[in-house]
Each structure stands twice: as C-alpha cells, then as structure tokens.
Chains A and B, each alone.
Chain A
Amino acid sequence: MSSNSGTATRPPRSLLRTLRRWESALVVILIAVIAFGTIESPNFLTTTTIFFGGLDIGQIAIMALPLTLIVITGEIDLSVAAMLGLSACVFGYAFEHGTGAGLAIVIALLVGALGGSLNGFLITRLGLPSIAVTIGTLTMFRGIAEVVLGNSEVTSYPTGLTVIGSKPIFAHLAYPFLFFLILAAIYALVLHKTAVGRSLYAIGLNKEAAFFSGIRVNRTKFILYLLSGVVCAFAGIVYALQNDSSIYTAGQGLELNVVAVVLFGGVSIFGGRGSVLGVVLSVLIVAASQVAFTLINISSEEQQIIFGVLLLFSVLVPNSAAGYRRVRAWINQGRTSAPAAGAEL
C-alpha cells in the first residue's frame, strides 16, 4: 500500500538487486523444504502427497494471482476469500434450485464481477482507501453468503465435476493446482510482457508520473479489481466442487493467508515490485511445507506460526538496512535529519 503510515518507509532502490535475488532465495528455500521433507518422511514425494498438497493450496494459490497485480499497483484487496465464499454459496444456491451446473457457474462468475466492480468503483471513482473498502466488502460479501445459504450446506454436485477434488490429472497433479498453473502462466505473460502489465509497476511506484505518461490509472485499477472478483469467484466454484460442499464459512480467514503468500513471494507491500514467478515459488514453498509439516505431525495451528514468521521475514529483510541505520540514529540521538539536497537553485 502506498499510504505513508506513521513510521513505514519504502526500502532504498539498491535493494532491487536484493529482490532479484529474492526469487533466487525462494528457489533455495524451496529446495531446502523439499530436502527437509524427503529426509523427514519417506512419504513426502509420493503421488498421493503431491496430489493432496496441490489440492490444499489450490484456492489460496488461485486467489494470490489477482492480488499480486493489485498489490503491485500499491493497493490491497482483503475481500478475496469472502468472494470465494460468496461465490461458492451462490453457485450452490443456483445449482440447488435447478439451474444446472453450467449456468450456476456463469451466475457465480457474474457475482464475482459485480463484487469486484463494487470494490473498483469505490476505490477508483470515490477514491476511498482500498484497505478500508475491502474490509467493508469482505464483511459484506461474507454476510451476503450467509444470507444466501444460511446455515445449510449444498452438496451432491455432479460427480463429473467433483472429480476435480478426488482424481488427479497427469498422475499426480490436482485439478485446482493445474488451474492455478494455467492462470499463473497467463498472469505472468500479462504482467511481464504486455504494455498494461508494465504500466502496473509504474502505477505502483509513482501513480502521478504514470498518469502524466498517459497511463489510465483509474481504469487499470478498476479492471484489476473486477478481475480479482471474477478469479476469486472461480476459486469459489473450484472450492465447492473440490469439497463437494458449499457453505457460508467457505474460505473464512483465508484472506490473510493469501496476502502472506503474495508478500512472501517478494511482492512489495508498497507497490511497484514483484513477479509472478516469486508468487509461484512462494505457493510451492507453502504447499511443500504444509505437506512436510503435516507428515511430521506439526499441527496446522503450529504451522501458522511459521506462516507468520515467513511473512515478517519477507518484509524485514528488505527493510533491515533501513532499520539498522535507524537503530544507529537512535543511538546518536539529538540530530534532526535535514532533507536531502534538492537540485533547485
């Protein structure tokens, strides 16, 4: 987020090279985790565990992609998991009322588009801060999901579709993970290879300069939020089919996991930096870790600590240089810092 909070600062540019190394560091960590897992348990690299690992991480992974683009532009979207839940419920509701799976999917995706547009409208047209708006929509979407399905659960989806939750494709790849990979490829292409994608970095680093260069900042952000709604709705459909269940608590609390995955993937919370590759690596690391830790009986609750530490680590490292200087400044107290010399005459 580009809002300047009470004490946070963007890390200096020389750390771009650090970031370039961030993806490399992620590769190293991934290898380490895999090695750890293989050593700790013979079951680690079996087709079953790979399948279930992919299955578990599927929704978080899918939701992480549109969020990556949004964070690169300096905004945030905390409503992702709530949209997943809403979409799962709408999908279930429609299906239960006889619309047939195909139409139900379309309806759910439309709801995603609507929700995303609401976010986009409030943030770009009204200029409201994205953190506040998406906290509001997060609550609202979850609430509407509750209204749609109440306490009941929709199950018994057609087995032709729920197979995505029970059978792998290509021997051990879970369908949700496959969807993620396909989406990741598309997002990577868009982010790194299209004019629009390139403009996202400019928007995140300096949205005025981007605007002065003819980039349509508001329109771009609106589209990103719209897409986020649609993709998260898609994730919701996947969730419903994979678990053969639609319930209003679907995905509750996952938004923070998604943000953690994105930040850990090297996407800067300040905007203007990050890559899809980093997020993919981050997803893989998290998936592998979850599998490994479960196999050695670390509970999922305990795994949460690891998540949190990872998240902190991912922001502390870029900021550590600044922090070190700050500590030294605290020690040499008394000097008010003078602003840097300008080129004005």
Chain B
Amino acid sequence: MQPDRLETPITAGDATDAHDVGGYLFAAEHVGKSFGAVKAVIDASLRLTAGEAHALVGENGAGKSTLVKMLAGVHEPDTGRLYLEGSAVQLSSPAIARDAGIAVIYQEPTLFPDLDVAENVFMGRMPKRSGGRVDRPLMLDQVNAVMNRLGVRLDPNRLTRGLSIADQQIIEIAKALTLDAKVIVMDEPTAALSSAEVARLFTVIETLRAEGAAVVFISHRLDEVFATCQQVTVMRDGRSVLTSPAAELTSDQLVRTMVGRDIEKRQAVQGVGSGDVVLNVDRLTREGKFVDISFEVRAGEIVGLAGLVGAGRTEIAQSIFGIDRYDAGSVTVSGAPLKKGSPTAAMAAGIGLVPEDRRQHGLVMDESIERNIVLASLKRVRSHGLIATTLSRDFATKWSERLQIKFNRLADPVSTLSGGNQQKVVLAKWLSRQPALLIVDEPTRGIDVGTKSEVHGLIQNLAADGVAVLVISSELPEVLLLADRILVIREGRLVHEFTNAQATEEAVIAAAAGVVAEVAA
C-alpha cells in the first residue's frame, strides 16, 4: 500500500525555509505535534541523506521520541510536512510508513519468542511455494543473505526466545532490510548493549550506509555519535536547534547546544550534610545490572543519581526498595539492616519509592484517585479494624489538597488525570506515609512545565523538612536543580561523585557517557 502522495510538488515558496527537499531521501520540515496541553514537538526539521548516519540528540523531553513516532506513522504531525524523495507524503499509519520504506528499531524489540529467527523476520508475509506451503529454503536463503550483508552470524533456525537484546535488534534490522527499508531509525540502540555488541552494531550501520540507506541514530552517548555519524541534529525543548556535520562539532559544543540555557542550580542549603545517615548502601551488587555500589543519604539531603538510560539506576533503586533481590552487599536504614527483597520491610523502615513507570508500577490506572492515594496506607484508614469510608475520603482529600492535585471527583479513575496530576497522586500516596527516605525515579517524566516546577518544589520542601531524598533523573537540569550531591552511574558502576558546587552539566554528561576529557577532578 503506497503512502498518499500529495499532488502538488514542493515549490520554493511553500516551506518557510528554502531548503531543497528534493535532494534528501527523507525530510521532515518544521513539524510540530501536541498532545492536549503538552507541546511535545514545536518546530523540528530533520533531513536525511541516503548513505548517511544521522544522529538525533537531545535531552529527555526534547521531543526526539515524538519526532520518531511521526516518522513511524504512529502520529501525524499537526504542523509541517514530511517528504519522501522530494514529494510530500502522509504517513497515517505504521503500515503505510513501513511500505514507504521507513523502519524503526525500538529499544525493546517485540519478537515472537516461540518462533525461530527466519519466521520472525518474515512473519505476516512468508514466501510461499507451490501448494501454498511456506517456502522455507527461500526464507532461510534470504535471511542468511541479509545476515551476510550485515556481516553477522545468527542461525535462522534458532528460536528467538532467550536471544540477547543485541541479537533481537539485528533481527529487527534484518526485517527492515527484507522490507527494502531505506530509512532505518534506531532509538537508543546501545542502551542495553555491551561494548562488543556496540562494535558489531556500528559495523552493521556502516553496511547499511554503504547500501544507500539513511540511518537515524538516537543516542545520549556522544562518543558513539561521533564515532558513527556524519550529521548531527540537536533537539531542545521541542525544536531542532542545530544541524551540522559531525566533523564540524566538538563534544563540548554539542553538549552546550543540547543544554543551551542558564541552568538553575540548587542553592547551597545550610546544614546539609550534617543530618543523620538515613540510607547506607554498601557494595550492592546485582548480577548483570550493577556492581559494587556504595553511598549514603542523610536526612535533609537530596542525592541525585545521574547516568544514561540503561546504566542501572532504576535497578539500584528497586533493589533498595525490595522489588528485586540483590546478590551481594547490604542496605542499612537508620542504622538497622534492611531485609532484602521485601517492599513491606522497606516500607516499614520508612522508605517510599515513586517508580519510573507511572502507568505500570506507580498507579492502578483503572482505580479511583482516592483508592490510589490510600493504597499504601490502608491500615491507617481503619476504625476498629475495618476500612472506614469517611476516614479514607478525608485522607485522600487532605493529601490531594496539599499537593494541589487537579481533579473532578475523588471517585474518578486516575486515568482521567493529566500526566502531571497523575504523578502527584503517586507522590501523595508516598508522602502521606511520611517516609524517612523517599526515592523518586524520574520525577517529572512526561509532565508539563508548570507541574514540573511544582514537583521540584515539593521535593525541595521534603528535604527541608528533614526527609532524605534520592532522586534518579535523566534530565540533567533537573538533577542540578535538586541535588546536593550527584552520583554518576555508568554501566552499573558508580564512577563519579560531584558536590553541587563542583557539578556542571558538561562534566556530568561527560562522566555519564564516559567521555574522558573535561571532567573536573
């Protein structure tokens, strides 16, 4: 099914920019997309040349994901246009985008674990031979041919269950190639990969380029960007602010362009660092996730865990809170050792965890606002052992007012709230327990600017009240704004610690990405 091509070809007066889109394999010109009040992308342009690897960089929240989804046909742009080989196109569904030759490799590929590699590549469009049977020899040949083109060894007869993420990505790439994809977008492909697998992926990208495809490479790892890509487009706050050949940029410039604003840093707070030690993590290790993590958080202190996606920070938090069991090391809360693998024990010790995934882990979406707020405090809204509706309602009302949650009725399902208000419900749930230690994982992901600053204020007030706070965030401005101390995690290890005074955004990014230069000692 071919995508709809608009009849009128582009003339110079059309776009506000006089770019000649005809020269590009694919171009997104000044596209924008909003979801209700949230303006995910305001004005972004991306121009891809055949045979090039083009990096798309920017902080979390800059709009990269949404831009990619527009390429993938998941969303249609509200403003601006998309062009394929010079003609405007409408990618109104993923199937249409696929037919147009655009393939997106997501971080978590979805394969059929019970089927083998060859069937995964060809599912839904299997080649047939006489009598309608699957032409398995042809399938195997084609898969082997593609694998050879990519320079990768993967047995097409092998079931995909248990394959590493790296191999799963290769299969997705193979799928794209058999579909004659010309534009291949890779969304944070290296987050879960080892260095050997990353090297393999780079070779694959070279092959794709040599065959004339355009590869879009989204990554936070600037060293990889410079190693692989010829062009770089930087996005910031929903706009594409810079497009330049990689050779003409230094990583310093790149980082500054990504950040590009005055960073508000946390004002040094009196007496911070002198509170009692609330959390002590000693040589915490979980096989395959993180190694030898040791740090402390004191009362009244905000410690930030910075690092790239996939570095292992969420896993650390979840191990502390007892969601996962760690393999070695210990956790002590206010001097007492904490039982591992038991959220109940963690909560009894006074820990709360605001999880990274709000919808899956933080909230029961189909339940009411009231019930979500009360969920972790059910024992507190009882009288004579039975849950009292008035107590429950008052509890929820009190805390929703305190956090200024905007809602219609307490009985409404929490799914009807905006992202920001949903996050506040999660916070209400935990704050109402008056924890000694609050761990917040990505406190402002996917919420609007106004609520963002409200949440920041909440966290700061918490610390002022003597609560120990551990903040995990991939948004550096946020970490710098909130944290008294910043711990940088890279590939499962604690690689650097900054005090607030020492930290600069460049330094933190450098430490997180492993770029050696310019790290303040």
Q: CA of A258 to CA of B189 in the docked complex: distance in angstroms? A: 50
What distance in Å separates the Cβ of B97 from its nearest Cβ neighbour in chain A? 10
A305 at the interface (CB under 8 A from B): no
- Whether A345 and B63, one on each chain, are in contact in the complex, defined by CB atoms closer than 8 angstroms, is yes
A-B contact count (CB 8 A): 100
- Whether B415 and A198, one on each chain, are in contact in the complex, defined by CB atoms closer than 8 angstroms, is no
When C-beta atoms are compared, the residue in chain B nearest to A217 turns out to be: B343
Encode A193-211 as 1/0 by CB contact (under 8 A) with B.
1110011011001101111
Q: Which residues of A contact B382 (CB under 8 A)?
A: 194-195
B323 at the interface (CB under 8 A from A): yes
Category for how many chain B residues contact A: 35 or more
Partner of B360, one of A199, A209, A214: A209
Q: Which residues of A contact B361 (CB under 8 A)?
A: 208-209, 212
- Whether A214 and B75, one on each chain, are in contact in the complex, defined by CB atoms closer than 8 angstroms, is no
Quick one: given A205-B364, A208-B361, A216-B344, are A336 and B94 in contact (CB under 8 Å)? yes
Q: CA of A199 to CA of B371 in the docked complex: distance in angstroms? A: 10
> Which parts of B242-262 form the interface with A (CB within 8 Å)?
none
Which one of A199, A206, A343 has the highest number of Cβ atoms from chain B below 10 Å of its Cβ? A343
- Whether A335 and B93, one on each chain, are in contact in the complex, defined by CB atoms closer than 8 angstroms, is yes
- Whether A199 and B95, one on each chain, are in contact in the complex, defined by CB atoms closer than 8 angstroms, is no
Q: Which residues of A contact B323 (CB under 8 A)?
A: 211-212
Partner of B446, one of A13, A208, A211, A345: A345
What distance in Å separates the Cβ of A219 from its nearest Cβ neighbour in chain B? 9
- Whether B365 and A206, one on each chain, are in contact in the complex, defined by CB atoms closer than 8 angstroms, is yes
Quick one: given A195-B378, A205-B367, A211-B323, are A343 and B446 in contact (CB under 8 Å)? yes
Q: Which residues of A contact B93 (CB under 8 A)?
A: 335-336, 338
- Whether B344 and A338, one on each chain, are in contact in the complex, defined by CB atoms closer than 8 angstroms, is no
- Whether A194 and B385, one on each chain, are in contact in the complex, defined by CB atoms closer than 8 angstroms, is yes
Q: Which residues of A contact B360 (CB under 8 A)?
A: 206, 208-209
B413 at the interface (CB under 8 A from A): yes
B312 at the interface (CB under 8 A from A): no
Quick one: given A205-B366, A338-B73, are A212 and B387 in contact (CB under 8 Å)? no
Number of chain A residues whose Cβ lies closer than 8 Å to a Cβ of chain B: 32
What distance in Å separates the Cβ of A71 from its nearest Cβ neighbour in chain B? 16
B375 at the interface (CB under 8 A from A): yes
Q: Which residues of A contact B419 (CB under 8 A)?
A: 343
- Whether A344 and B347, one on each chain, are in contact in the complex, defined by CB atoms closer than 8 angstroms, is no
> Which parts of B299-328 form the interface with A (CB within 8 Å)?
323
Encode B350-369 as 1/0 by CB contact (under 8 A) with A.
00010100001111111100
Quick one: given A214-B347, A345-B40, A345-B60, are A194 and B366 in contact (CB under 8 Å)? no
- Whether B343 and A209, one on each chain, are in contact in the complex, defined by CB atoms closer than 8 angstroms, is no
Quick one: given A189-B386, A195-B379, A202-B364, are A341 and B61 in contact (CB under 8 Å)? no
A272 at the interface (CB under 8 A from B): yes
Q: CA of A197 to CA of B21 in the docked complex: distance in angstroms? A: 62
- Whether B344 and A198, one on each chain, are in contact in the complex, defined by CB atoms closer than 8 angstroms, is no
Q: Which residues of B contact A189 (CB under 8 A)?
A: 386
- Whether B446 and A202, one on each chain, are in contact in the complex, defined by CB atoms closer than 8 angstroms, is no
- Whether A16 and B429, one on each chain, are in contact in the complex, defined by CB atoms closer than 8 angstroms, is no
B12 at the interface (CB under 8 A from A): no
Quick one: given A343-B35, A344-B66, are A212 and B61 in contact (CB under 8 Å)? no
A213 at the interface (CB under 8 A from B): yes
Encode A113-139 as 1/0 by CB contact (under 8 A) with B.
000000000000000000000000000
Q: Which residues of A contact B415 (CB under 8 A)?
A: 13
- Whether A213 and B376, one on each chain, are in contact in the complex, defined by CB atoms closer than 8 angstroms, is yes
> Which parts of B427-449 form the interface with A (CB within 8 Å)?
429, 445-447
B502 at the interface (CB under 8 A from A): no
Q: CA of A111 to CA of B365 in the docked complex: distance in angstroms? A: 39
When C-beta atoms are compared, the residue in chain B nearest to A195 turns out to be: B378
A339 at the interface (CB under 8 A from B): yes
Q: Which residues of A contact B387 (CB under 8 A)?
A: 192-195, 198
When C-beta atoms are compared, the residue in chain B nearest to A197 turns out to be: B387
> Which parts of A320-345 form the interface with B (CB within 8 Å)?
335-336, 338-339, 341-345
B65 at the interface (CB under 8 A from A): yes
Q: Which residues of B contact A213 (CB under 8 A)?
A: 343, 375-376, 429
What distance in Å separates the Cβ of A144 from its nearest Cβ neighbour in chain B? 34
Q: CA of A213 to CA of B93 in the docked complex: distance in angstroms? A: 37
Beyond A202-B375, A210-B364, A215-B375, 16 additional pairs, beta carbon < 8 A: A13-B413, A195-B387, A202-B364, A205-B367, A208-B360, A209-B362, A212-B323, A338-B73, A338-B74, A339-B74, A343-B35, A343-B446, A344-B65, A345-B40, A345-B60, A345-B65
Pick 24 A–B contacts, CB within 8 A, sort by A: A16-B413, A189-B386, A192-B387, A198-B387, A199-B378, A205-B364, A206-B360, A206-B365, A208-B361, A209-B360, A209-B364, A213-B343, A213-B375, A213-B376, A213-B429, A214-B376, A336-B95, A338-B75, A343-B35, A344-B446, A345-B38, A345-B65, A345-B238, A345-B446
9 A-B pairs with the lowest CB-CB distances in the bound complex, closest first: A195-B378, A343-B446, A193-B386, A343-B419, A336-B95, A212-B361, A214-B347, A345-B61, A206-B364
